[in-house]
Structure 1
Amino acid sequence: MTPRKRTGRCATLLVTAALVTGALTGCQPLAEAASATCEDTGSRVDELKAYDVLESRPPGTIVPKGFTDLEAGCWEDSGEAWLYADRTYVFPGEKAEVIQYYRAAAEREGWKLSRSTRQALEKDPSASLCFTRGGTDDATTLDVYFLTKEILDAEETETGPEFASGFGYRVSVGATADGSPNSCSD
């Protein structure tokens, strides 16, 4: 399997947040906000890999060939470093079942559903999920999202026959490399 190429969604949000925060407060120039690197982030990546929600999955979920390992690391995009740990699964049932399962599993672990996710779920019960930790860990988010052909193509990922038996989804814990606050796109 070819290693996935990370999309710049989170990095784009982080750089945008840094620009807005710096502009509003006048406290942090963009160069400082976007200067985090992947150097010396191994222990923080290990912390992300330890979240139980990454291994938790609804009954009947399949671990597809080529996705058997927990993927974790640090990537830099647009000058911002982002830590991640994620698992990819295929579920043969309804998307709403996955959403219901992870809402309960995440909340048991202390994750808080974002306001924007709550609003999205009112319109579409199978919308992607985004949670935050808050408190002393305001740099970490949990995303549960469904894989589209566009996402898999961007990652240059080849899917096996398991994806034909249901729909693919990813459970991803992410954090800023420098420990700065992070949130869902509320």
Structure 2
Amino acid sequence: MPIRTRTTLLLAVALTAGGLTGCSGLAGLAGYKDCGGSEERVRSLGALAILDAPPEKATPPRGYEKVDAGCWDDSGEAWVYASRTYAFPGTPEEVLRHYGTEASRDGWHPGPARPPAPGKGIGLCFTRDVDGTPTVLKVYSLTRESFAAEGGAFPPELATGSGFRVEATADASGEPTDCAS
């Protein structure tokens, strides 16, 4: 059989196998990562104390009472995450001060300070290893626009004061990451 015919046949088999298995057969060939085996990392991030250490009087909006944790791999890279959403009657500056102190106590290292974009609210970033995996912790404002971008309905509790999210993320395979990622 000529080389061109064998190559065409091999490619057809690979494409068919990939289609039957949800493309996982081609994922390795393309260098993509997936969420396979990430359950322990997800549990580890979901148990981080900093997620349950909001400023006094901060409360989770209805429907956001628990840690949201999981893994996503729709971009060719797989990431594990855990987050909490809070409504806070105080100011964004109070949120910044609180998490600056709490994160430091919990062993997180501040990332490069970047002023928030106009109208975008607060944003903090910290790094630390969690169970040997480089991890990023972000604290950021939530707005109607950010919820719309996520496809969610804006909780009415966030309409007054400062709505924010605390989110830890790490590369599912344990690759280094930082606040610039």
Give per-residue Cα distances to partners, 1:107-151, cap 9 Å, x unaligned: 101100012x2x538xxxx64000011598452100000012221
* Aligned partner letter, 2:42: V
* Corresponding residue of 1:54: 51
Unmatched 5+ stretches in structure 2: 1-28
Relative contact order: is structure 1 or structure 2 higher (C-alpha 8 Å, sep ≥ 6)?
A: 1
- Post-superposition, which runs of at least 4 consecutive aligned residues in structure 1 deviate over 6 A? none
In the TM superposition, 1:121-160 aligns within 5 A as: 127-133=122-128, 137=132, 139-160=134-155
Change (3 A) 1:136 1:165: closer
Percent identity of paired positions between Structure 1 and Structure 2: 42
Change (3 A) 1:135 1:41: closer
Aligned counterpart for 1:37 among listed residues 34, 37, 40? 34
In the TM superposition, 1:20-99 aligns within 5 A as: 31-32=30-31, 35-99=32-96
Unmatched 5+ stretches in structure 1: 1-29
- State the superposition RMSD in angstroms: 2.3
Q: C-alpha separation between the residues in 1 aligned to 2:76 and 2:179?
A: 20
* Aligned partner letter, 2:141: F
* Structure-2-length-normalised TM-score: 0.76
* Structure-1-length-normalised TM-score: 0.74
Q: C-alpha separation between the residues in 2 aligned to 1:135 and 1:48?
A: 8
> Do the aligned partners of 1:61 and 1:89 also contact (CA within 8 Å) in 2?
yes
* Corresponding residue of 1:168: 163
Q: C-alpha separation between the residues in 1 aligned to 2:132 and 2:92?
A: 29
CA shift for structure 1 position 31? 4.0
Change (3 A) 1:135 1:149: closer
Q: C-alpha separation between the residues in 2 aligned to 1:79 and 1:51?
A: 26
Q: C-alpha separation between the residues in 1 aligned to 2:66 and 2:129?
A: 28
Q: C-alpha separation between the residues in 2 aligned to 1:65 and 1:135?
A: 29
1:107 corresponds to 2:104: yes
Give per-residue Cα distances to partners, 1:28-69, cap 9 Å, x unaligned: xx943xx22111110110111111000001111121101111
Aligned length: 150
